[in-house]
Structure 1
């Protein structure tokens, strides 16, 4: 088993969260709150009402759990890729087949859903909770007081399965998007590397990571919208009976374009985030392999 990939994925994932979290908050609010019609309006409203802190709501849990989930993604990807490579009877230094990279990425994306789903619903609900504490009026106070309180409140009110609301949409988002992610990253590195099978230069790593992130979000945004809406459906009045009802109702009331809400922001955010993720991932991998 390639243990180094689990460690490097963990470090890269945490770095990516720190870089991209403010824009992630803006993206989630645009996808779930109809009163916010644009990126700048959302940024201005958040700054005016909540200050800079508003962009970092719920970050403490994701930075921990994304480290774990990224560890699962990268570790699963590398080990599944190794198994597929051996099943083909290839030697260790032979190039990895593109279909194997795609399948291994898909496996990595689906594998991390069990870890990611509870943390993701906590993150989304805290991001969409815009009330401020105002005196002793209970109605004006936010429902969730922090990540741990939010986690236990959801489990108490909606059961343990409530922590997995939107998990189906999350799997349908992350399977194809991570398959695209790793395929694009490896393809761009191959195109831009002067020597085949050699470690890519840092500028190639960062450019390939940024492009891979943008392509992955282009594939994953429709399911990201549905996931976010299902996850916030327990905060007040219920609007959706399930996954298919959420899709049909969203399209019927807001048009097909609703599935691409936040796409521009996702792509803008994805470039620097995934530059950071892959740069840290490759740095840690190379350090671990040098010292081993």
Structure 2
């Protein structure tokens, strides 16, 4: 019999797992944002050294409390929507989730629903997070010598004073598309891989197949890492464009459409002397390595602790009626 508190299980599992995974992966996310907005190629160790010299350890965790609080609750809501959507399809027998394609499709639909709905609330917080991570770059664009970065509250006031309440939703349509597509791909891949690696329709992990001899306890980490890396790689150009559009808006620079921004990132600012296509694509994917490492860390730990907490809740003694 399911535990009486099973209705809140997805929330409890997602919150506890998210706190740990977000803290572990945030320094890499901060480096990713800086790599995306630099004009000249720079290695990850070098930019990490620059951040440490200019800002110290705190530079890697600038704005941490925003994702630590918001992303954790966003993930809790996302997992709840994803879980409820899967239950709806299962209970109404709309798709046969005992088969690989059906299992992956239900996960993708649940992910798309979660990503699109959650983006409405998460967009302002991510914008502020990007602002905090790029304080020095934005100040340089404005011609300001920044001796001490403003607080999060000051950053929010500055955005509100400059652009009003809608300034917090700068680049929202790109955020919406990125989260809807990315979350759909993420859960589609995760559920598909878990099915391939022996998870039963009931959600319990069975023995792994002979062609992939990995311990059953490592399956959540492996599937979480792979789905996080691959789904993120597919939508990475959209994230680069979103970050660049938001940076220009916060720096008060002239607006450029996403298409123009993407073209200039790939081919350069001079249409008469475009950059080589390969070099432009490499520019778009700058920071993907550190982002992939962050995804392995964050999503691997997320699903590992999600399953651990879920198993702990399932094994709790039942309360009397």
TM-score (norm 2): 0.80
- 1:24 Cα deviation (Å)? 0.7
The reply on whether 1:99 has 2:99 as its aligned counterpart is no
4+ residue runs of structure 1 moved beyond 4 angstroms?
Answer: 93-96, 194-198
Residue in structure 2 matching 1:114, options 106, 115, 120: 120
Report how far residue 123 of structure 1 moved. Answer: 0.9
1:277 corresponds to: 302
- The equivalent of 1:135 in structure 2 is none
Query: 1 CA distance for matches of 2:147 and 2:123?
Result: 22
Question: 1:286 matched to which residue of 2?
Answer: 311
Whether 1:248 aligns to 2:254 is no
Q: Give 2:132's aligned residue.
A: 126
State whether residues 170 and 249 of structure 2, in contact with CA within 8 Å, keep that contact through their aligned partners in structure 1. Answer: no
Query: In the alignment, does 2:230 pair up with 1:205?
Result: no
Give the structure 2 partner of residue 179 of structure 1: 184
Matched, 1:83 2:98: no
Residue 141 of structure 1 aligns to a residue whose secondary structure is coil
How far apart are residue 182 of structure 1 and its match?
Answer: 1.5
Which structure 2 residue ranges, 5 or more long, are not aligned? 1-5, 138-142, 206-215, 269-274
Matches for 1:187-202 after TM superposition, within 5 Å? 187-193=192-198, 197=202, 199-200=204-205, 201-202=216-217
Partner residue in 2 for 1:134: none
Give 1:35 shift.
4.1
Q: Which runs of 5+ in 1 are unaligned?
A: 132-137
Cα offset, 1:22, TM superposition = 0.6
CA contact (8 A) 1:118 1:163 kept: yes
How many residue pairs end up in the alignment? 285
Instruction: For residue 63 of structure 1, report the CA deviation from its aligned partner.
Output: 0.5
Rounded Cα–Cα distance in structure 2 between residues aligned with 1:275 and 1:260:
22
CA separation of 1:89 and 1:121: change in aligned 2, threshold 3 A: closer
**Per-residue CA distance 1:103-146 (angstroms, 9 max, x = gap):** 11121122211121111111111111238xxxxxx953368522
Deviations 1:259-290 (A, max 9, x none): 32222221111111111111122222233343
CA distance in 2, matches of 1:104, 1:22: 29
Preserved CA contact (<8 Å) 2:63 2:133: yes
Q: Which residue of 2 aligns with 1:220?
A: 235
Mapped partners of 1:38, 1:48: distance in 2: 15
1:88 match: secondary structure: coil
Contact 1:60-1:147 within 8 A present in 2 as well: no
**RMSD across aligned positions (CA):** 2.6
1:182-227: CA deviation from partner (whole Å, max 9, x where unpaired): 1222222222238674623321111111111111211221111011
Q: Is the contact made by 1:77 and 1:108 (CA closer than 8 Å) also made in structure 2?
A: yes
1:34 aligns with 2:46: no
TM-score, with structure 1 as normaliser = 0.87
Quick check: 1:77–1:105 contact (8 Å CA) kept in 2?
Answer: yes
Residue number among 9, 13, 34 corresponding to 2:18 in the alignment: 13
